[in-house]
Amino acid sequence: MRFPGLVDVHVHLRTPGGEHKEDYHTGSAAALAGGFTTLLAMPNTQPPLVTYKNWRIAQTRALKESLCDVFLMAGASEDYIDELPTLAQNAPALKVYLNDTYGPLRVEGIEPLRRIFQSWTSSKPIALHAEGESLAQAIAMSAVYDRKIHVCHVARKPEIEFIADAKARGLKVTCEVTPHHLFLTEADADRMGPLGDMRPRLGTQADVDALWQHINTTIDCVASDHAPHTLAEKGISGDADNERFALGDLTLKKDPPPGVPGLESTLPLLLTAASEGRLTYERIRDLLYTNPRCIYTLPEQPQTWVEVDEKSSYTFPDHPLYTKCAWSPFEGRRMTGRITNVVFKGKTVYQGGKVLSF
């Protein structure tokens, strides 16, 4: 079976400032190994991409150092609102953090938020990290200032239902969910410790069921929220592979950073769900290609496709991971659906478990 080159609209590639976790080269290799040929990368780097100068430097490097197409979102900061009109002309979208999460970016209060929405003078979307009450704030801003918003990593039943209501009302709202929120629950978080910790946190079975109920309707995209942190940062000592998840192996750190990698497991998980009849292969194409390209107006990639063997079963991962952090919350999971090769702009770049351009 063949898919077009897939799009992941939410990844953290950690350049600049966090290159020990990931960089454009390793992150884009992980993308190709996972069937993705276009990435939208987040601005919560060090320094964060809140000025046109820093965004431009990073975007130039991304184009040079990546093995697939990588577009960088601009970040919103109360201190750099003047930069937004220029960023709006250049970046594919603006990212606003309304809750605490990993990284230096956070916007609080009605006044900075209304100035940000007024200064983003573009029909390009404003993507938001907006959990709980912040979601209501985000949707209110979208309605009042008539801006397209895209809600990142929706993870809770009331939140997906509220977005469904906003869409029914005709508001310009789109959203994504992550594979970890579709395939894991808080019971897994208890078992996995820091390796199952991310923002938003894993939900209840009722939350997961609600997300699946909206998979063919309210949910526009599946995005990995690929958020690599090293095992050492997560507080995992010792490297005996099969004991990684055993709590006895953890020297619990006070505040391990939230986030899990996902570029290489997203498509296998969705293919597995399709093999079980939980969604269709056509819907995977909508969620990972058609809708992402439409929401962010992404360029076409000629002679680019992903070949999968949808019948092939294996234990994930079936080859060493390319992400620099070198672990996955889905290690050891049975998957049905293997990425056999990826062709990027006329060249075979992934085959037999190897990124040939790496």
Question: Rounded CA gap, 160 and 284, in Å?
Answer: 19
Q: Quick one: tokens of 234?
A: 């997560």
Give the other-Cβ count within 10 Å of 347's Cβ.
11
CB neighbours of 305 closer than 8 A, spacing ≥ 6? 2, 3, 4, 5, 342, 343
Query: From Zn ion, ligand NCD, none, which one binds at residue 44 (CB under 5 to 8 Å depending on kind)?
Result: ligand NCD
Query: From Zn ion, ligand NCD, none, which one binds at residue 318 (CB under 5 to 8 Å depending on kind)?
Result: Zn ion
Give the other-Cβ count within 10 Å of 346's Cβ.
10
Note the residues at the interface with ligand NCD (CB under 6 A): 12, 44, 101-103, 129, 198-199, 225, 227, 257-259
Residue number closest to Zn ion, CB atom: 129
- Report the run of H or E that residue 284 belongs to, with start and end: helix 281-285
Residue with Cβ nearer Zn ion (129 or 234): 129
Taking the complex as a whole, how short is the minimal distance between the CB of residue 351 and ligand NCD, in angstroms? 30
Binding mask 47-86 for Zn ion (x = CB under 5 A): ----------------------------------------
Taking the complex as a whole, how short is the minimal distance between the CB of residue 227 and ligand NCD, in angstroms? 3
Spatial contact of 300 and 9, defined as CB atoms under 8 Å apart: no
Q: Provide the b/e sequence for 313-345 (b: ≥16 CB within 10 Å).
A: eeebbeeebbbbbebbbbbebebbbbbebbbbe
Residue with Cβ nearer ligand NCD (7 or 128): 128
CB neighbours of 190 closer than 8 A, spacing ≥ 6? 196
Binding mask 112-151 for Zn ion (x = CB under 5 A): -----------------x----------------------
Report which of 277, 251, 265 is spatially closest to residue 319, judged by C-alpha positions.
Answer: 265
Residue with Cβ nearer ligand NCD (105 or 306): 105
Part of the chain binding Zn ion (CB under 5 A), chosen from 65-73, 99-107, 190-198, 273-281:
99-107
Binding mask 216-255 for Zn ion (x = CB under 5 A): ---------x------------------------------
Taking the complex as a whole, how short is the minimal distance between the CB of residue 132 and Zn ion, in angstroms? 13
Query: From Zn ion, ligand NCD, none, which one binds at residue 292 (CB under 5 to 8 Å depending on kind)?
Result: none
Q: Quick one: tokens of 7?
A: 């799009």
Write out the binding residues for Zn ion, residues 286-325 only, by CB under 5 A.
Answer: 318
Taking the complex as a whole, how short is the minimal distance between the CB of residue 174 and ligand NCD, in angstroms? 17
- Give Cα separations from 256 to 78, 160, 233 (angstroms): 27, 28, 6
- Give the residues lining the site for Zn ion (CB under 5 A): 101, 129, 225, 318
